[in-house]
Each structure stands twice: as C-alpha cells, then as structure tokens.
Chain A
C-alpha cells in the first residue's frame, strides 16, 4: 500500500518531534558541571581505611546530618599534601590553605521546604546508606553533576531516565519516590513529617 503524501509528511513531523523529545531534549535540558575537586571515594576507603560512610558523613549529636563534610574534616588529614594527585593539590592549595569551603555540588539537594532527616531514616528506620545512594560510596570518581536548566536541581532528583520508566530502585528523589517508599513500609509521615 502506498502511503499518501499527507500521511508521510505527518509521519515525518511525528518522527522529528519524537527524536527531538526523546533524544535531543534530555541532552539539552541538562547542563554539565564538574565538581571543584576530583574526589575519589574508592581511594579514601582503600588507602585510609575509612570503611564507614559515617566517618565523614556523620549524624551529629543533636541529630542533624553533616552532609558533605565541611572543609574542617578534610583538613584533619589534608592540612598539607599527603599524596601526589593533582586533585589533592587543588583541594589543599585552593581551599584548605586559604580557608575557603569547597563548593561541592550536591546531587541530592532538595528545595528549602523539604525536611529529610538522616537521623530518623538511618538510626530509627535502619536504612542502609546504599538504599538511596547505591554505590556512590565506592566510586572511583565523582559523577558529572547534571543540573536541570529549568528547575535548577540535579538530574538525580528526577532520575536518569527521562521517562522515569525502568528506574533503578534507588533512582529518583521526588516527592512521589518518598511517598512510594513510605507506602511500602506503612509509615505515614503526614505533611508535617517531611515539610518545613
């Protein structure tokens, strides 16, 4: 059967839109940034014997989470260069010695009105770090930080897959992802439990 001209043109338009939407759009939507220092989790785990995530990413006494450690933590070992890598040189020369906090790009940064308590999820609910952060703690290099040009947040929040289908279990940190996990575990936090 020969397709009519209008049908072909329609199909052509369809194809262009599908390509633009599924291939080009995800590439254009996210801009790439690099972390200020090429930090290697693997190196720190192997060479310095830092086995526990909580050694640097600690929950403080008052229950708040240290997040990405402050420069003070890095300076406790790296007050001067202890290795030969250019990454460490950058850390020591550009940040530790002058006394500036390293402007790390946080993959899981949420808007200000979100309250996520690591203390409650890790200590009370007993969630392992890997449940949400998978193998980040063993990475050989930090992933490129992909930031959504419209919303300003990391790609990690939506998840890598633009359609949100076939996501890895830990991918995605949108409200619906939190809700899904809460529903599975029968924990009703209410609005007050997650918002501030």
Chain B
C-alpha cells in the first residue's frame, strides 16, 4: 500500500519565527549568496506574512509557511517539464525534483501556482571550510537549475536504509520527519501519511478549519492548512470572500485514503 505523505500546517500556531526556513536550508545544503535578494534568493521553504488589511487595533497578522504542495493531480510542474526532471513518486506521493536533469528553462516555475520553485542564479559557494558543514545525503546543485522542497528525501532514504538493515519492509514513521516539522517550536507543521486513515494528520486534514490554497485549480495539493480565523481561511482562494466548499477535493482525498 503506497503512502501519500502530506502535511497539516496550523496557522494559529505559526509565530513566523523562521526556524523552519533555516532548518530546511541547512538540511538541504541551500547556500546563502551575497547577491541574492528576496526575488532571487533560494528559499525552498518560505514563510510569508499576511494581514487582514486593516489598520490600528483591528489589524491582524498571520504567518504562512509555503513550500512545494506536492500536487497529486495533473501536477503542473511535471506536466510542463521538457526534461522529465520531476515526477510524482508512486510509492510516496512526493513530487521529486532532480536538479541534475534540469536544463534551466524555468517553465515549471511559471507553471507552479504556488511560486514554490526557485532557480539557482549563481553557483553555490560557501566561505573556506564551511563546505565541511554540508549535509551528506543531499547533492549540491549547480547554477542554472531549479530546485524545490523534496520533502527531505535524504531523511526518507535514511529511514529506508535503517529499516532494510533491520530486515523490515516498512519504515518507522519516527525515523522520517522532515526538517521543518522537527524544527517548528510550536509544532505548527505536522507531517503524516494522508493515505492512512489512522494517521492523525490524515484525520486533521478533514477538520472543519482545514483548507488548501487554490483548491479550485484541482491540483490536489497534499499540504493542508488550518486556521480558526476566518480571514486567514479566506486567503485560500482570494483576498476577499469566503472559501467555497470544494467537494471534489474531498472526494479525491477519500479515494486516496480508501485505495
């Protein structure tokens, strides 16, 4: 039975500290380059600040971590890639990007509705000696290729190796925890197998305050968000107005869960 790894991100708990962004960059050997700006920087996980657009004491602000949504259906980036440099992994549902195969056309960056893909404008470089702090298990990319969140595939690989060494077929879920999930001080980012009915994350994805961004596009993202504040939920489809109930996505999730 294949897994469908996904997340539920509780926006009531996100304080916008940025620990997840740094843990992600550290685990995935993402460089910090002096010429980078907010437009050209590499942030496979990016926390955005949003507000209810009011001023004074009525103003509310929230923080939204955005990374690859690992779209399940008609995945836009997979559809457009001329190099087959990205695919939806059958066994896990992870949308796996292979930067070494990428030729840098950036069509996928245009196709991604969530702006979750980033281009390596420059070769990565670290100050002398700092390359010793690079994480083994994640290949360093070169300039000219696109990269994005791969759901910490290096940690999945370690979990699979450990299970194999112990003679097991399935990984121990405690061994596969993405860096952002592990780093979050308020446990706002929760990770689990959406195809497993008994997984608490899978159950939380069904809760009344859970929503997905741009669900109307039908890409079936596997990252769910949750907020008790209506103005935050309203951001899912547009900046104003309520979120329309998307029955087809509920049905799709049910199909995935029941096989």
Instruction: List the interface of chain A (C-beta within 8 A of B).
Output: 59-64, 111-113, 115, 117, 119-120, 123-124, 188, 190-193, 195-196
Contact = CB atoms under 8 A, between A and B. Distances in A.
A117 B157 contact: yes
Given A62-B165, A112-B140, A192 B89 contact: yes
Which of A60, A113, A191, A193 is packed against the most chain B CB atoms within 10 Å?
A191
Contacts of B154: 196
Contacts of A188: 90
A113 B138 CA distance: 7
17 contacts: A60-B165, A62-B158, A62-B161, A62-B165, A63-B164, A63-B166, A64-B158, A113-B98, A113-B100, A119-B164, A123-B165, A124-B164, A190-B90, A191-B96, A192-B92, A192-B94, A196-B153
A190 B91 contact: yes
B79 to A, nearest CB: 16
B5 to A, nearest CB: 11
Given A190-B89, A192-B96, A196-B137, A115 B165 contact: no
Interface residues of B, number: 29
A190 B86 CA distance: 10
Contacts of A63: 158, 160-166
B182 interface: no
A153 to B, nearest CB: 14
Contacts of A192: 89, 91-92, 94, 96, 150, 153, 156
Interface in B26-78: none
A119 B157 CA distance: 11
